Amino acid sequence: MSDLWAAKREQSRKGVEPLAVRMRPRTLDEFAGQQHILGPGKLLRRMLAADTVTSMIFHGPPGTGKTTLAELIARQTKRVFVRENAALVGVKRIRDVIDEAQRRLELENKRTILFLDEIHRFTKAQQDVLLGDVERGLITLIGATTENPLFAVNSALVSRSTLFRLETLSEDDIIAVLRRTIADKERGYGGLALEVTEDALRVWAVKCDGDARRALGALEVAVESQRRRDEETKRRSDEVEATTASLRLSVSSSLLIDAAVAQDSIQQKAALYDASGDQHYDHASALIKSIRGSDPDAAVYWLARMLDAGEDPRFIARRLAILASEDVGNADPRAIMIAASCFTIVERIGMPEARITLSQTAIYLALAPKSNASYVAIDEAMKDAAEGRTIPVPMHIKDGNVRKATQISVSGKDGDAYRYTHADGIADPHLGVIGAQDYLGVEKQYYRPTTHGSEKVLKDALERARAARGPKDVEA
């Protein structure tokens, strides 16, 4: 028996759909951006052309079209589309979906796509229910997440899926979406006498930060608020008899959206930053690599992004202190002192003043000469200490009480007992004055200084010191 009110209910539901929902692309040609996976000859486009779509995971920022793309794939491959949220779905529902998919395949020869939003919230129990049927192809899984799936999704699912990263849309992509919406007579505003300036489009394209959903939401707010304003103006004009004619002439027959209206219709950019997620580590990595690459402008920008998003300034100060040793090292020994002072100041004064100290330190470190020789030296020595042959302490540099207790005549490799450096004068490797003794017993050179900055002076001193000690046995 047919439901006489089904069409009415469907119309009511569609009547409250936001503009962003109404304007979802219905074909791949309408889909904005993502040419790195959907362009001619790219992997996803090839999979669709050959109808060899397998389970996949879409990951990337919000508003890049992950859900829409999954729906388009289902439509193009003529598969049934089932949408669930991984944070809300239970094992029973998963089993029901699998059973329905199996029945559909056996009786109707139709395949099923299960779209799981927030797939990083998928539990082990849910994974175990799905794995076998996903692997056999009974059901095609498409997951969506804003996290890095290599860290956030169970490895068993990742190994059975093709990973696609969706990038934020460019400003031109956003403007193209807005133009299509303004011209669309069926779902958009093509039926209105609407004029949107270039400046207004550019405001939305910049402020939405690559999120098409935010841009369309701003357009909807701007248009509807302007319509309400004009309707109210016309209503009031009808109530004023004496000036009806002149007032009506002043009411525009079209809607104008300029930059000022666009600004008022969208919030300030919301920083795409999760203090416990990928953005936290991505931005920290960008800051460190910019400093390591001697680019103070990039370093200050990434620093500003982190602070603007509410990152703990102490976390940034710790990262700068680590970098001062790891990447600058002895090429500029002042760097670690500046970083240490920065950490102290940041802890004591806090934001917003701490931003200046962090900026000063980041700029100094970016422009300092670079050396990771100290970092490499300790890591190599730690590896030898943990994995290599144990090197005994040479007898002539053992504790004096130990030598006396064993009544051993202590001699170095050159036949001399331990020589107290200060008894021979001031030991200064920079001047070539050094006690020529062996302190390790085997030939090992962990510290290999560069010729950058102050480390060149240390390199010269080290070469004189090693020459004075003479050759040693090479470790077997």
Structural contact between residues 209 and 305, judged by C-beta atoms closer than 8 angstroms: no
- Amino acid 262 reads A
Q: How far apart are CA 282 and CA 127, in angstroms?
A: 28
pLDDT for 1: 46
Closest Cα to residue 312, out of 331, 284, 337? 284
List, in sequence order, every residue forming a beta bridge with 27; answer none if it has no partner: none
Residue 122 falls in which region: left (phi positive, over 0), alpha (psi -120 to 50) or beta:
beta
Structural contact between residues 293 and 328, judged by C-beta atoms closer than 8 angstroms: no
pLDDT for 87: 84
- Beta-carbon contacts of 212 under 8 Å, excluding residues fewer than 6 positions away, are 20, 32, 63, 64, 65, 169, 173, 174, 177
CATH of domain 171-264: 1.10.8.60
The DSSP-derived string for 323-365 is HIIIIIGGGSTHHHHHHHHHHHHHHHH-TTTHHHHHHHHHHHH
- Beta-carbon contacts of 441 under 8 Å, excluding residues fewer than 6 positions away, are 391, 392, 394, 472, 473
pLDDT for 358: 96
| Structure token digits, residue 154 | 């169970």
Q: How many CB atoms lie within 10 A of CB 419?
A: 14
Structural contact between residues 110 and 77, judged by C-beta atoms closer than 8 angstroms: no
Tell me which residue has tokens 């050159």: 414
- Amino acid 384 reads D
CA–CA distances in Å: residue 325 to residues 118, 187, 276, 289, 452? 39, 59, 26, 14, 14
Tell me which residue has tokens 């919406």: 181
Q: Hey, is 386 helix, strand or coil?
A: helix
Q: Hey, is 61 helix, strand or coil?
A: coil
Domain ranges within the chain, ordered by starting residue = 34-165, 171-264, 278-367, 388-469
Rg (CA), the chain: 34
CATH superfamily of 34-165: P-loop containing nucleotide triphosphate hydrolases (3.40.50.300)
**Does domain 278-367 fall into CATH 1.25.40.10?**
no
Structural contact between residues 216 and 19, judged by C-beta atoms closer than 8 angstroms: yes
One fold for both 34-165 and 278-367? no
**Mean pLDDT per 10-residue interval, the chain, length 476 residues:** 59 71 86 88 90 89 87 91 88 89 90 90 80 86 88 82 89 91 89 89 87 89 81 63 45 74 75 58 89 91 88 91 93 94 92 92 93 90 82 70 51 53 59 61 79 82 73 51
CA end-to-end span of the chain, whole Å?
89
- Beta-carbon contacts of 334 under 8 Å, excluding residues fewer than 6 positions away, are none
pLDDT for 249: 39
